[in-house]
Structure 1
Amino acid sequence: MRRTKSGDGAAAGTIADRTPAPDGGPVLRLEAVRKTYGRTVVLRDVALEVPPHTVTALIGASGSGKSTLLRCANLLEEIDDGAIFLDGAEITDPRVDADAVRRRIGVVFQAYNLFPHMTVLENVTLAPRRVHGLPRAEAEARARELLERLGLGGRSGAYPDRLSGGQQQRVAIVRALAVRPRLLLLDEITAALDPELVGEVLGVVRDLKEEGMTMVIATHEMSFAREVADQVCFLDGGVVLERGAPEQVFGDPQQERTGRFLERIIRAGRL
């Protein structure tokens, strides 16, 4: 069946939205999701469950479907078959307001996508004010709190071109968090960074995990995925070929294709 796409709170003092799913189930669930571009099948009957306050790492070669999966989960791409659920409610139902869904999901891409003519504070408060209708004072107070937490307290008045790549990516993460998302999707957020800046951004993700933020991360940083993830999914040709705890997937892969992929990673010194 082809699907057509069409007030959150957080506990005080924490970044994560701790509102439970209605049935205590996963925050995000994909059922038999299929996505094609012309004759090319990018996702093949993908099934995935993301429990609350956990980190799911998507690994695999470029073109394996990791980024497309995230874009489908945020309704930036229309799926061709299957269903996607957020807190038990189907968000790929044609009657669903896609914009309302996106207000509950934060997304950070490898490109920072900051508005160059706006200060850091203006970039961060734009969506809370314009989309969520927060008063300016409340939006700015929330933004300043997050910027301080992520080590950017003194940069609120700076313009993006005055920041390092790592600082810009941290601003992009703050912008995603400012709307108090139920779920955070991170798509290769270190891919555009110089090696010396990767650590500071990954440190932010570690902090978010400790705060209990539910995250799905597409990454080529294998050592980081092994450290931070609660579950790892290896994608190959649009299929979730293997999933499991990091120690199992990285230490004792059950699929030959997973093993070959990890062998190349090890030879390259990335694991």
Structure 2
Amino acid sequence: MSEPVLRVSGLVKRYGPDTVLDGIDLEVAEHEVVVLIGASGSGKSTLLRCVNLQEEIDDGQILLEGEDVSDPRVDADLVRRRMGVVFQAFNLFPHLCVLDNVALAPRVVHGRPREEAERTALALLDRVGLADRASAYPDRLSGGQQQRVAIVRALAYDPRLLLLDEITSALDPELVGEVLTLVRELAGQGRTILMATHEMGFARRIADRVCFLDAGRLLESGPPEQLFTEPAHARTQQFLARIVAAGRL
């Protein structure tokens, strides 16, 4: 059995006296799409930030392709080069056009020649229907377009793991679909993805495995049909009952 791309063991994260992640164990295999669900404040975003080494952990271990990247001696910048991250906010550079936003990291961080970086960026933009917006600046794009650019930017250096943190939460409802369509296409292409979302219907359709977090603990995980139709834990049942009552599943 091959080494998972990501293995999280006994992960603990505290903010002062508050424990926000309490012994998380999680694996993401090659080409697997793992979706984190749970109420706001359950720890989903904090877990993603810890995996990306944006947060120091208090206990546990994070292995990326078998390497202990939670070791304090590890160069966090080198580790992050192997992960693509997209957050709730688009975080595009407003003074750079779309093409330069996408090509910047491959050039500056990964040392690729400008021509190669721009050629790759244009090919990616073409795949998501935004090649004609390559010279536009972010303020000339819709929210959905900006988020698609942010996803393309994360893909520009071919990361081993793609982390997506509530990427539709800042979008108007009519723009959510175009972003989720792109994520569905990436999953179909075999990308390895760990994502947090409040879009339960989407999680059910796209995930290989769904993980339910509550109060910093991973209470339950399994294939989407099993977890959404026959959840074993009482707290999962309660959470999903509210989702169904709200018409979100």
The question of a shared fold, defined as TM-score above 0.5 by the shorter chain, is answered with: yes
Shift of residue 96, structure 1, vs aligned partner: 1.1
Residue deviations 1:194-227 (CA, integer Å, cap 9, x gap): 1110000000001001111000010000000000
Of 175, 194, 200, which aligns to 1:197? 175
TM-score normalised by structure 2 residue count: 0.99
Corresponding pairs, count:
249
The residue number in structure 2 matching 1:105 is: 83
1:248 aligned onto 2:226: yes
| 1:51 aligned residue | 29
Write the mapping of 1:69-88 to structure 2, written as runs, cut at 5 A.
Answer: 69-88=47-66
How much is the aligned-residue C-alpha RMSD, in angstroms? 0.7
* Equivalent of residue 209 in structure 2, options 231, 252, 269: 231
The residue type equivalent to 2:89 in the other structure is: A
1:107 aligned partner, one-letter code? V
- Are positions 1:123 and 2:101 aligned together? yes
Letter in 1 for 2:138: P
Q: Deviations over 1:30-66 (max 9, x none)?
A: 0000000000100000000001101000000000000
Match of 1:216 in 2: 194
Displacement of 1:250 after TM fit? 0.2
Match in the other structure for 1:29: 7
Looking at structure 2, the residues matched to 200 and 94 of structure 1 have their Cα atoms a distance apart, in angstroms, of 39
Partner residue in 1 for 2:118: 140
Unaligned stretches of 5+ residues in structure 2: none
What's the secondary structure of 1:42's corresponding residue?
strand
Q: Percent identity?
A: 67
| 2: CA distance, partners of 1:268 / 1:117 | 41
Distance 1:26 1:150 in 2: 29
Match of 1:20 in 2: none
* One-letter identity of the residue aligned with 1:139: A
How far residue 75 of structure 1 moved from its aligned partner, in angstroms, is: 0.2
Please give the secondary structure, in 2, of the residue aligned with 1:204.
Answer: helix
> CA shift at 1:118, angstroms?
0.6
Aligned partner of 1:64 in structure 2 is 42
Following the alignment from structure 2 to structure 1, what is the Cα–Cα distance between the partners of residues 187 and 193?
8
- 1:66-92, Cα deviation, whole Å (9 max, x unpaired): 000000000000100000000111101
Aligned equivalents of 2:188 and 2:201: distance in 1?
A: 18
Amino acid at match of 2:75: D
* Aligned residue in 2 for 1:158: 136
User: Following the alignment from structure 1 to structure 2, what is the Cα–Cα distance between the partners of residues 84 and 249?
Assistant: 25
- Secondary structure of 2:46's match? helix
Q: Distance in 1 between matches of 2:38 and 2:8?
A: 18
User: What is the deviation of 1:94?
Assistant: 1.7
Distance 1:56 1:227 in 2: 12
What does residue 18 of structure 2 align with? 40
The amino acid that maps onto 1:204 is L
Instruction: Map Cα deviations across residues 246-265 of structure 1 (whole Å, 9 max, x no partner).
Output: 01110000000000000100
| Residue 95 (structure 1) shift | 1.9
Following superposition, the deviation at residue 236 of structure 1 comes to: 0.2
Which of residues 111, 130, 153 in structure 2 aligns to 1:175? 153
**What secondary structure, in the 3-state scheme, does the structure 1 residue paired with 2:62 have?**
strand
Whole-angstrom CA distance in 1 between matches of 2:235 and 2:200: 16
Structure 1 unaligned runs (5+)?
Answer: 1-22
Paired residue secondary structure (2:177): helix
Counterpart of 1:7 in structure 2 is: none
TM-score, structure 1 normalization: 0.91
